[in-house]
Amino acid sequence: MMKKLGRRAGQPSPPIVRIRRPLALDERPDIAGNLGFIGIHLFCFAVLVTGWSAVAVTVALLTYVIRAFGLTAGYHRYFAHRGFKTGRVFQFILAFIGATAAQKGPLWWAAHHRHHHRFADTEHDIHSPGVRGFLWAHVGWVLAPKNEPTKYQSIPDFAKYPELVMLNRWHYVAPASLVVALLALGQVLAVYAPWLGTGPLQLTVWGFGISTVCLYHATFFVNSLAHVSGSRRFMTRDDSRNNPLISLLTLGEGWHNNHHRYPSSERQGFYWWEFDMTHYILRMLSWFGLVWDLRAPPPEIYAEAKAGASTEPASNREAA
Ligand SMILES: [Zn+2]
Ligand SMILES: [Zn+2]
C-alpha cells in the first residue's frame, strides 16, 4: 500500500534554495514601461458598459484558442525548442499569430524561455516560484526592467531572419492589427446584423481585452503553478510538474514535467490520455505538409517513465 501511494505521488523534488532579498532596482515593476500590459487589464472593465453577446463571447473563445496555438506551437515548441520543422513563410505566420497575444516578440519570448530551461529552479532562473516566490514567477519578472531586452545571444538560429527581428522589434503592430480588425468587424455587424446585439467596443473588449488577459495568466501559470502544483513523473533537477488543468487552459503546455525531461519533443502529452491540443493540430498540419519532422520522445524516455527511473542524464538541461 505504501509503495502504491509513493508511486502515485511521483518523483520527489530536488532541494530548492529560496532567495529572500528585496528586489533590486532593475527588478522592481516598471509601471511606465508596461502601460500597455496594465492598460489591457483595465480595459476589461469596459465590459461593465458594453455587456456581452453570444457573438462577442464566441469571438473571444476563437481569439483565445488561435493565439494560444500561436504561442504554444510557434513561440514555445518551434522557436524556443525546434520541436518540428516548417518553411520560412509558415514560420513567420506562426510568429505573427503568437505576437497578436501581446506577449512581446517571438525572439524575446523564446530566448528568455531557453534561459529558463538552462537554469530551471536555480538562482539564475528568471522565473522560479521556488527560488523567488510565486508572484515573481507569475508576473513580477515580466514587469522587471532587467528582463526587457531580448537575449539575442540565446537565439542566433532565428535572429538571422530579418523579418523575425523586425516583428520582434515592432511586436505591438500585431496586437494593434487585431484590435483594428475587431473594431471593424464590430462596426460591420452593428450595421448589417444589429439583431446580434454587438458593436465595435463590445467585440474588442471580449475578443481582445478579456481574451488577452485570460491568455496572459494561463501562460504565466506554466511558469508559476506548473513548478508548484501537480505530479512528477520524471526526477528532473527542477521542480516542474504535470498539471492537467493547465494543459486544458494552454492547449497542452501543462505536462511541464514531461517537457522539462525532454524539451525538444514536439508533443508534451507523452501518452494518448494526456490532452495536448497543440500536438493534435500540428499533426493535422503535417498531413498538409505545412509542418514536418515532428520530434517525439525516444523509447528511452518511455522506458524511464515506466521504470520510474531515479536518475537523470546530464544532458537534461542542454536539450532545450
Ligand atoms: Zn518550466
Ligand atoms: Zn519549454
Q: Is residue 126 part of a domain?
A: yes
CA of 94 to the centre of ligand 1 (A): 22
Percent of the chain with pLDDT over 70: 93
Rounded to the nearest angstrom, the distance between the alpha carbon of 80 and the centre of ligand 1 is: 12
Asked if pLDDT for residue 315 goes beyond 80, the answer is no
Q: Which residue has the cell 538552462?
A: 118
Question: How far does residue 197's CA lie from ligand 1's centre (Å)?
Answer: 42
Is 58 strand, coil or helix? Answer: helix
Expressed in angstroms and rounded, the spacing between residue 184 Cα and the centre of ligand 2 is 36
Tell me the whole-structure pTM to 2 decimals.
0.92
Does residue 6 fall inside a structural domain?
Answer: no
Kindly give, in sequence order, each residue whose CB lies less than 8 Å from that of residue 150, ignoring residues fewer than 6 positions away. Answer: 105, 107, 108, 111, 168
Average pLDDT score, the chain:
93
Buried b (16+ CB within 10 A) or exposed e, 254-276: bbbbbbbbbbbbbbbbbeeebeb
- Looking at the DSSP assignment, which residues form a beta bridge with residue 86? 291
Measured in angstroms, how far is the CA atom of residue 82 from the centroid of ligand 1?
16
CA of residue 238 to ligand 1 center, whole Å:
8
5 occurs within a structural domain = no
Specify whether the CB–CB gap between 51 and 202 falls below 8 A. yes
> And the C-alpha cell for 14?
530536488
Residues spanned by the domain of 192: 51-316
pLDDT of residue 219 exceeding 50: yes
Residues 34-76: tens digit of each pLDDT: 999 999 999 999 999 999 999 999 999 999 999 999 999 999 9
What is the pLDDT confidence band of residue 22, given thresholds at 50, 70 and 90?
Answer: confident
Q: Give per-residue pLDDT as tens, 88-140.
A: 999 999 999 999 999 999 999 999 999 999 999 999 999 999 999 999 999 99
Instruction: Report the separation in Å between the CA atom of 197 and the middle of ligand 2, taken as the mean of its atom positions.
Output: 41
Is 190 a member of any domain?
yes
Strands (E), the chain: 85-86, 291-292
Provide the pLDDT for residue 2: 35
Q: Is the dihedral of CA 162, 168, 170, 176 positive or negative?
A: positive
Kindly state the percentage of the chain with pLDDT values over 90. 87
What is the rounded CA–CA span in Å between residue 277 and residue 72?
Answer: 10
**Predicted confidence (pLDDT) per residue in 249-300, tens digit:** 999 999 999 999 999 999 999 999 999 999 999 999 999 999 999 999 999 9
Residue 313: pLDDT over 90: no
Q: What is the grid cell recorded at 174? A: 500585431
Closest CA to 290 of 73, 66, 71, 67: 73
Per-residue cell: 240: 516542474
Q: Structurally, how many domains does the chain consist of? A: 1
Q: Decide the pairing of beta strands 85-86 and 291-292.
A: antiparallel
pLDDT band at 309 (very low <50, low <70, confident <90, very high): low
Q: Is residue 4 part of a domain?
A: no
Whether 296 maps to a domain, the answer reads yes
In a domain, residue 34? The reply is no
242 phi and psi, to 5 degrees? Answer: -95, 120
**273 inside domain:** yes
CA distances (Å), 41 to each of 53, 202, 304, 305, in order?
20, 15, 43, 41
- Going from the Cα of 317 to the center of ligand 1, the distance in angstroms, rounded, reads 11
